[in-house]
Amino acid sequence: MRWAWVLVAWVLVAGCKRTEAPRPVDPAVAKRGRSLFQRGQSVRGEPLMGFLAPERVELSGEVAACARCHGPGGRGSREGGVEVPDITPGALGHARASAVGEVEDRARPAYTRETLLRAVTEGVSASGRELGVAMPRYALGEVEREELLAYLQQLGDQPDPGVTASTLTVGAALPISGRLGPLGQEAAAVVRAVFADVNAGGGIFRRKLELVVEDDAALHARPGRALGRQAVDGEAPSRGRPDGPAAEPDATARLLDRGVLAMVASVRQGPLPSDSLLAREGVPLVLPLTLGAGASNEDAPVFFLYPDEPALARLTVQHLARLHEPELRRKPLAVAHAGGKAGSAWARAVRQEAERRELAPPVELAPGADGTLTDLEATVMQWASAPPTAVLYAGTSAGLGTLLRALEAHAPGVPVFAPASLADPVAVGSSAGRVRFVYPAGLGARAPDLKEFAAFMERHGLEPGHTAFQLGAYAAARVLVEALTRTGADVTRASVVQHLEALRDFDTGVSPPVTFGVNRRVGVQGAQLAALDVATSRLVAASEWIPLTP
């Protein structure tokens, strides 16, 4: 009996003792390994590859990421009824005795570098037992092995950037100075007010939310179209949209250098060079409005509340095809734009959707170097005898007005469809009746009840300004706060992304319900057609809700 107690004591001592001193961790190597663990992709853009035994079912990329099962902090979970173990150094670095009453002997010595690598690549535990079939056997090169092992050595010990015991730091890239300074300042004030409400309620798991803003005025420095003002009840914007990215580095990279957990409510027109940094570091970004060709890849950590303009072009073609498909098979649509990347993306979306639905190829009104439509009068005059079914236009409010006046004179029966950001009463004028604006934020019966938002603004002493962007900033901040709350105390960038992907029909209070997914980065998938009431400068619903077909 005495020897039995000695044996038990030896096992307990062994269970509390490391068998191998860990190697010092190179922070740069561990940071690269983080991308493999959290995102299933190396920093060189190569997907992590794994195979499920015994059939060798291949997994790659995000679905193969270790964090998908073990959790972003590596502390385990129950995935599909399977118990996934804790793989933090504190768990793997100690021997484990078989628990009393266990049917299967799960005793094992502490993991070493060699046995941990064997478990990862061959599916064999430190005791020599074959691991379950749900554990992928990963194909790793020498570099990937060192990176992943370095990250596993510090897993759960080092918080993600922007996370401390008392704070969660979130960044926003906004134009604080320059011609768009008022817009950026208003958006920042709204996000800070949302965070202030959360902090007043105790924060998120006793952590206070902090917002840091980097001035992105250089991104919008070129003269040209400005961002529109829109009232709470659907007032049409009085100005156009921002120009494309300037050559100077944008503020996103500076925020990542400062070490933020996530980003929210940035203002931009399309993809930026720094998006590769967001993807490489897995930093979630919730954008309020998408302008131009702004949607991201399905596996990028950038989440949009609303569809971008090319998606609105596709939606318009889908809507017209449902109403006039036989006519559209023999008579084309026309597409017009002001040039540049955004205009080309608009025209390409119209062409591709028409081709997908086997409609007549669209005719294109080409823009000149100054963004105005080339030979507009001559082209529209030809339409007097053979008009297109409709014109889909994206560009400037002034350009839309010019197009409408030409149609008024020579082809008055041709309707025009354009993004709601161009609904400028001054530019459109008396031709407003022939244009329908595509509006994804909800009008009429689908318009959100904004009483809570109005009370929020009054409570924080905020005045209505560029209201479309104030609403967008509010919605984006609410979405991010919800994801952070669902993440819990063990917050990481990867866990925030996962909980954003799990958001279903979330009510922001100022937008249609928001739903994301693993392969869905746009929260509102649809829009309405809107008419512009020039007398009141309001957009009013001109159709029911139109869902966007993938």
Please report the DSSP string for 287-301 in residue order. ES---SS-PPPTTSS
Burial of 322: CB neighbours in 10 Å, binned 0-12, 13-18, 19+ = exposed
Whole-angstrom distance, CA of residue 335 vs CA of residue 390 = 8
Encode 384-410: b = buried (16+ Cβ within 10 Å), e = exposed: eeebbbbbbbbbbbbbbbbbbbbbbeb
And the tokens for 475?
Answer: 């919605």
Give 172's contacts (C-beta < 8 A, 6+ positions apart): 187, 188, 191, 211, 212, 213, 214, 255, 263, 264, 265, 266
Q: Which pLDDT score is estimated for 267?
A: 80
Whole-angstrom distance, CA of residue 483 vs CA of residue 342 = 31
Identify the CATH class of 310-439. alpha beta
Beta strands, E only, 149-207: 167-174
Q: How far is CA 26 from CA 150, 159, 480, in A?
A: 7, 16, 32
Whole-angstrom distance, CA of residue 537 vs CA of residue 237 = 8
Whole-angstrom distance, CA of residue 53 vs CA of residue 283 = 32
Give 505's contacts (C-beta < 8 A, 6+ positions apart): 513, 514, 515
- Give the residue ranges of DSSP H helices in 357-492: 376-382, 397-410, 425-428, 451-459, 467-487
Residue corresponding to tokens 């021997």: 95
Give me the residues paired with residue 392 across strands.
335, 417
Give the torsion sign (CA, 293, 298, 301, 306).
positive
Residue 49 Cα to chain centre, angstroms? 25
What is the β-pairing status of strands 285-287 and 262-264?
A: parallel
Cite the residue boundaries of each domain of the chain with CATH code 1.10.760.10: 2-154
Give me the residues paired with residue 171 across strands.
212, 263
Cite the residue boundaries of each domain of the chain with CATH code 3.40.50.2300: 167-307+451-498, 310-439
Reported for 196-199, long-range contacts at CB under 8 A and 24+ positions apart, including other chains, are 196/460, 197/456, 198/481
Give 250's contacts (C-beta < 8 A, 6+ positions apart): 173, 216, 218, 219, 268, 272, 273, 274
Q: Which pLDDT score is estimated for 173?
A: 94
Q: Which pLDDT score is estimated for 6?
A: 36
Burial of 231: CB neighbours in 10 Å, binned 0-12, 13-18, 19+ = middle
Q: Which pLDDT score is estimated for 297?
A: 55
The SS3 assignment for 39 reads: helix
Give the predicted TM-score (pTM) of the model: 0.76
Return per-residue pLDDT of the chain as tens, 550 residues. 443 433 333 333 444 444 455 567 788 888 888 888 887 888 888 888 988 877 888 888 878 888 888 877 788 776 556 678 888 888 888 888 765 445 455 788 999 989 998 988 998 988 888 888 888 999 999 999 898 988 888 887 778 899 999 999 999 999 999 988 999 999 999 999 999 999 999 999 999 999 999 998 887 765 444 444 333 344 444 333 334 444 455 799 899 989 999 999 988 777 777 888 888 788 999 987 655 555 555 567 899 999 989 999 999 999 999 999 999 999 999 999 988 888 888 999 999 999 999 999 999 987 876 667 778 888 888 888 889 999 999 988 999 999 999 999 889 989 999 999 899 999 888 888 889 999 999 999 899 999 999 999 999 999 999 888 899 999 999 999 999 999 999 898 988 998 999 999 999 999 999 999 988 999 999 999 999 998 898 999 999 999 999 8
And the tokens for 395?
Answer: 């560009």
The SS3 assignment for 330 reads: helix
Q: Which pLDDT score is estimated for 231?
A: 35
Backbone angles phi, psi at 496, to 5 degrees: -65, -45
For residues 250 and 244, the answer to whether their CB atoms sit within 8 Å is no
Q: Would you say domain 2-154 falls under CATH 1.10.760.10?
A: yes
For the chain, state the CA radius of gyration.
28
Quick one: fold of 167-307+451-498? Answer: Rossmann fold (3.40.50)
